[in-house]
Amino acid sequence: MLSLQLLAALLLLLLGLSSLQAQPYPNYHAYFTAAPKSELKWWQTGAFYQIYPRSFKDSNGDGVGDLNGIAASLPYLKELGVTATWLSPIFTSPMADFGYDIANFTEIAPIFGSMADFEQLMSVAKQLDIKIILDFVPNHSSDECDWFKRSAAGEPEYKDFYVWHPGRMVNGKRMPPSNWVSVFRGSAWAWHEGRQEYYLHQFVKKQPDLNYRNPKVREAMNNVLRFWLAKGVFGFRIDAVPHVFELAPDAQLQYRDEPRNEWVNDPDDYGYLQHIYTVDQPETINLVYEWRAVLDEFSQQQGGEERILLAETYSPIDIVMQYYGNATAEGAQLPFNFLLISDINNSSNAEAYAQTVLKWLQHMPKNRTANWVLGNHDQPRVASRLGTDRVNMLHMLTATLPGAMVSYQGEELGMTNVWISWQDTVDPSACNSNSSIYERFTRDPERTPFQWSASTDAGFSNASKTWLPIAPNYRQLNVEQQRGQPLSHLNIYKQLLQLRKERTLQLGETEVKALNGAVLAVKRSHPQDLTYLTLLNIFDGTETVNLKEHFKQLADQMQVVVVTEKSKLKVGDLINTTALQLLPKESLIVRTASTYYTYYTNGEQRLLPVLLNYLLLAQVALYLSHRIYFV
């Protein structure tokens, strides 16, 4: 009978061992266990993807991307794992600033399609569970907007819709009301012959500033938000938020001049002045709170998931944090975090990276959500700014930090800036300068068409000429080519978006440390779950680090989860945490084992301590051995 006891015990032991061998860490049942929906709102760990419509996908062969092209390409975003996509302006516009000069805030620009095309896009997005975010441009309209035409004509209802002023007399000559300079060079005031007054334009001349001290303007723009919410959009990216208010005129109805920056000698340059009266005015914060109230009211009335605001602000950190809200009012869910753009450059060491990340996390108010932005249509591409060999490591960083991540189209491929000649330059920021200095101002290089394939026009269009030239490297760098390479930028990006669904990366605590001058580490940990480490060797030297010296309670070994082409390691390999060697520009993500085993009952996820597993196995073995003995 003893042999039967041993046989039963051996059988159970073998069953246990087989489960151990089935996966490297038997105490974790699923690699990507999403956090329960009740714990997080959809946007809090969202992967947001910016589409610049002119350059994403052309469906009708005119050389300009459009809504039907976007709709046909949404399955690609689903393939990536994107939560929501923000579309740069698609509204009726004379295109003086490529859509940021809006003539009608509730119409679709014919160059992009029709309202029926937009509604079809919304239908496809809903089927794929991809949320659509629109660009909201509140600071200004086009001078071809009906509101401006009526305001210029002096119609009582619209007379004060914009910022008008008769100017000031200097030595008998009429001059602009102040010395304010446009972001796009030159005076921020333009004379209107019909009205015989100056109007303010903080951007191009064809973009007159709206007057938000007029309650009618505020309500008109609130109705713009309501219109698109009713169409099914899930929120708005707010353009140029800091510029919405300017200092009010004094008791004599005069505007103050802004002080000089002595180190800038070109009076037409935006940097010539210290912008203390034209940006970051206190009223702007409260206006964002008003817009949030419009969205919350709609959500309460219509139900469904929360609608959100993403605010574009390059303001000082203390001001940016106010956009989140205060003790009595909610603000933008995600004021954009541009620190990885503004504070990091090619020479930044690991300590600078750590300080930049912690700057946001330590300033952020309690119970708010962080976000991480690497690029957009106004900034040089990350591959050109920080190096193609850092693209993967930067995506690893933003994907494993807490909160939302925001990507600009093509960054997932490592697309680079494209040199654009003066003859091909179309960006007004550059065109308002001259051929000798335009490259300092142009944003065309980061706006070139998306690279889908090695076919004609990079698969973007079949036009004889596209609105901007195609990148010369499109045959070597495109979606089709990278899909077939396991360690391409594209496939690593897809892995990262899938990995973000893991509970630890959604809910876990965060530690960010420079292990030395070259190596940055991000630890994410969560009770009763796996611990993750993201490790970045920023420079060109080989580095050996002892992870246990920097982080408490690490196991002697950890398992590799994501690698890049820089690494000799493979997914599934075990690393020694006391002596890990990182090759030049190598980045990887590793994880440790949980002390719990994940199992499911009645459709719910449960956690069982590993030790208890073995005790239960022992009890079952003992019970079966006694049953066999007494039979």
Q: Which residues are tagged catalytic?
A: 239, 312
The one-letter amino acid code at 468 reads L
* Cα 113 from Cα 134, distance rounded (Å): 15
* Cα 390 from Cα 585, distance rounded (Å): 7
Nearest Cα neighbor of 48 from 9, 87, 101, 103 is 87
Residue 404 in tokens? 């939302």
Q: Dihedral through CA 317, CA 320, CA 325, CA 330, nearest 10? A: -150
Q: Give the bridge partners for 429, in sequence order.
A: none
Count the Cβ atoms, other than its own, within 10 Å of residue 603.
5
Residue 47's contacts (CB-CB under 8 Å, 6 or more residues apart) are 80, 81, 82, 83, 84, 404, 405, 407, 497, 500
Q: Give the bridge partners for 310, in sequence order.
A: 237, 334
Nearest Cα neighbor of 517 from 544, 538, 546, 533 is 538
Residue 386 in tokens? 């920080």
Give the strand pairing for 509-514 and 574-576: unpaired
* Cα 587 from Cα 357, distance rounded (Å): 17
The one-letter amino acid code at 95 reads M
Nearest Cα neighbor of 491 from 82, 80, 78 is 80
Q: Tell me how many degrees the CA angle 66-68-71 measures, rounded to the nearest 5.
A: 115
Q: How far apart are the first and last CA of the chain?
A: 9
* Cα 574 from Cα 552, distance rounded (Å): 19
Backbone angles phi, psi at 372, to 5 degrees: -135, 120
Count the Cβ atoms, other than its own, within 10 Å of residue 310.
25
Cβ pair 35, 502 in contact under 8 A: no
Helix (H, G, I), strand (E, B) or coil at 408: strand
